[in-house]
Amino acid sequence: MKKLLDVLPLLVFFIFYNIYDIFIASAAIIVASGFSLVMRWWLYSKLDTLSLISFVFISIFGTLTIFMHNPDYIKWKGTILYALISIVFLYSHFFMKETLVERMLGKDVYLSKSAWRRLNIIWVIFFVFCSIMNTYSIFYFSQAMWVTFKVFGLGGLVLLFGLWNGLYIYRKLCNNNAVLKRNK
């Protein structure tokens, strides 16, 4: 259900863009993101930081797109958000006791410090790559192609990256006799 709530705003954006235009789609993604947050709170009684930050960015850049009547704002939201996420992960790598990936996933899995640090750097590289890909698509794709790439291209990359992370962690668990932490 959490993954559906992550994908819902993007799908709403895509549908409204194809029926109306980017301005109506920007309003729709703001509403859908807010709905997604409310549903998360109602279902799980908590909100993760990344969902809140994403909602704030969508609200700011979506509102700018609507009121300035300029689609560039919503297009650049992804580039800026991915770049900031990569910076935060990089910061955690050098200046925090635990990397951000370990703080997010370490409640459920025991991995070595080196495995967590390697995974954290991979997350940095991934989000830099997503930022670059979004920037490329802004400059070299039509608006319709950018919307499709944003929803299915970057969305698909995030899905594949999540699956790869699961395989990486599983492999480390098997190879290092690590264990899953049990919630009691």
Give residue-wise pLDDT tens across range 33-91.
Answer: 999 999 999 999 999 888 899 999 999 999 999 999 999 999 999 999 999 999 999 99
pLDDT digits (tens, 9 = 90+) for 125-179: 999 999 999 999 999 999 999 999 999 999 999 999 999 999 999 888 887 655 5
Q: HSE of 13 in the Cβ direction (CA atoms, 13 Å)?
A: 24
Residue 180: phi and psi, rounded to 5, are -75, 140
In the listed set 70, 100, 116, which residue is the last one of a domain according to the structure? 70
Closest CA to 11 of 30, 38, 29: 29
pTM over 0.75: yes
Instruction: For residue 109, give the 3-state DSSP assignment.
Output: strand
Same domain for 60 and 100?
A: no
Q: Tell whether 119 is covered by a domain.
A: yes
Spatial neighbors of 134 by CB under 8 A, at least 6 apart, are 75, 78, 79, 82, 150, 154
DSSP 180: B
Residues 61 and 99 in one domain: no
Give the burial class of 60: count Cβ atoms within 10 A of its Cβ; 0-12 exposed, 13-18 middle, 19 or more buried. Answer: middle
Same domain, 115 and 172: yes
Residue type, 4: L
Contact 170, 178 (CB under 8 A): no
Domain range holding 29? 1-70
Tell me, yes or no, whether 88 and 174 share the same domain.
yes
Structural domain count of the chain: 2
